[in-house]
Amino acid sequence: MAAGIDHAMDRESLDMLEAALRKTMLSASGAQLDAALTELGWADMLADTPQIAVPLVFRLLGETGTHASVLVDVVLHATGNTIGDTVELPLPYAGNTWVVWDRISPTTAEPTLGGLPLRREEEGYPIRLAEARVAVGWWLVGSARAMVALARRHALDRVQFGKPIAGFQAVRHRLAETLVAIEGAEATLSLPAVDNPDLTSLLAKAAAGRAALTAAKNCQQVLGGIGFTAEHELHHHVERVLVLDGLLGSSRELTRRAGAGLRARGSAPRLANL
């Protein structure tokens, strides 16, 4: 399917690709999803049209709540290595710590971090992260949209004082605030990273992390008590975004790093033509 993708893919083809990917992600996760994405041509998509493949695949990972080791492929491709390789790459994590995504034995790795096969490492080394930060940013945005969908459905179904709580101003304001944060993050993630790829990706990942954390907070409030239960889907997305926010640097850490860099530079580069 992916072999014929070109840079001018039409809307109908994109919709068909998205539908196929969503169906696949809803039926598989982990190593099974890795295998399914390989059959769908993930490697060709990433190599030929990363500007299409990365936002689409990672956003859908967030929306469906599943996971695959495709983030490792993004790092491998960006550093000139073979997509699909099982090399263990140390990835920076919040608090100056390191993790490794276990591709060799993901089923035996203890999934203590958001249900992901991430293993703590004592030390790591610098690698190129700009493309990976954008990918995780789209994953966070997808998770945020999944939480909004859950909160919206609950707000329409839950009736208090004789009408759906979706009509209450406090509920509407929380959902509106969340959507504004998500739209802003998506706009930042879509910026062309030509002149300042490191700074652009750093700010984009930070914006996506803040948006996802805002979604977790506000959607939890909209859902009320049921949102705290393990039986409800929300807790899965909340746990996931807490981990993804920390992966490759938390939104707070990246914002501080960007500010320190701009202060040392003495000026702010133009990242977008407004």
* Residue 51 neighbours by CB distance under 10 Å: 11
**Structure pTM?**
0.92
Question: Which of 47, 78, 109 is the last residue before a domain boundary?
Answer: 78
Looking up residue 250, the CATH number of its domain turns out to be 1.20.140.10
Residue ranges making up the domain that contains 33:
2-78
pLDDT for 187 equals 94
User: Does 101 share its domain with 162?
Assistant: no
Residue 271, domain member (yes or no): no
pLDDT for 15 equals 92
Number of domains in the chain: 3
pLDDT for 60 equals 98
Give CA–CA dist 108/87, Å, rounded: 17
Residue 45, domain member (yes or no): yes
Residue 210, domain member (yes or no): yes
Residue 56, domain member (yes or no): yes
Give CA–CA dist 49/46, Å, rounded: 6
Residue 257, domain member (yes or no): yes
User: Does 150 share its domain with 200?
Assistant: yes
User: Does 10 share its domain with 36?
Assistant: yes
User: Does 170 share its domain with 252?
Assistant: yes
User: Does 238 share its domain with 134?
Assistant: yes
The pLDDT profile of the chain, 274 residues, written as one tens digit per residue, is 443 344 456 888 899 999 999 999 999 999 999 999 999 999 999 999 999 999 999 999 999 999 999 999 999 999 999 999 988 889 999 999 999 998 877 555 555 677 899 989 998 998 999 999 999 999 999 999 999 999 999 998 888 888 888 889 999 999 999 999 999 999 999 988 667 888 999 999 999 999 999 999 999 999 988 878 888 899 999 999 999 999 999 999 999 998 998 888 887 776 666 5
pLDDT for 158 equals 86
Residue 270, domain member (yes or no): no
User: Does 43 share its domain with 166?
Assistant: no
User: Does 57 share its domain with 173?
Assistant: no
User: Does 111 share its domain with 178?
Assistant: no
Dihedral sign, Cα of residue 235, residue 241, residue 243, residue 244? positive
**Residue with tokens 């860099």, as numbered in its chain:** 261
pLDDT for 5 equals 45
Residue 84, domain member (yes or no): no
User: Does 47 share its domain with 160?
Assistant: no
User: Does 165 share its domain with 193?
Assistant: yes
